[in-house]
Amino acid sequence: MPIANSPTHTPQATTQCLAVDASCPGNPGPMEYRGVHLPSGKVVFRFGPMQGTNNIGEFLAIVHALALLKKHGASMPVYTDSKTALAWLRKQKCGTKMAQTAENADLFAIVARAEAWLHHNDYSDCPVRKWDTTAWGEIPADFGRK
């Protein structure tokens, strides 16, 4: 699975790609995530809120984007600003330290489904790339809650 970031991968306003991000005030807290189509600025998916962590939301947002693209037979890059989610994606495993409880069982079921999807699907035609916030500004999927 390609994960890249270089000057040749600089997204432009006309670049066909998705940008994903999560928000979670508190850790854990009410977590949500979304994906935005870069050229149009349109929110193409949104999930939450539900109790979780920001890193879990970032990971799930990437997998959601990849699954959505595959479902629609589309291929384009997916951008994330999360180094942690990229590391978990490489391992195809959510590395959260959040304890599983009866209250968050639904979230952990979603995480398990996402991990299984990664293990059983080829998504190599949709490279996941690191968004360079310093050079490009906030990722377009940002919730603006910093």
What is 3-136's CATH number?
3.30.420.10
pLDDT band at 4 (very low <50, low <70, confident <90, very high): very low
| Contact (Cβ atoms closer than 8 angstroms) between residue 9 and residue 77 | yes
The pLDDT tens digits of the residues spanning 94-138 come to 999 999 999 999 999 999 999 999 999 999 999 999 999 999 999
Tell me what pLDDT residue 2 has. 42
Handedness of CA 143, 43, 66, 39 (dihedral sign): negative
List the one residue out of 134, 12, 133 whose CA is nearest residue 142: 133
Q: What are the extents of the domains in the chain?
A: 3-136
| Contact (Cβ atoms closer than 8 angstroms) between residue 10 and residue 130 | no
User: Which residue bears the tokens 């990664």?
Assistant: 118
Task: Pick 48 or 144 by higher pLDDT.
Answer: 48
Mean pLDDT over 38-55 rounds to 96
Helix axes 54-71, 83-91, angle to 10 degrees: 60
Least confident range of 2-11, 45-54, 72-81, 93-102: 2-11
List the one residue out of 134, 120, 141 whose CA is nearest residue 17: 141
Task: Pick 126 or 146 by higher pLDDT.
Answer: 126
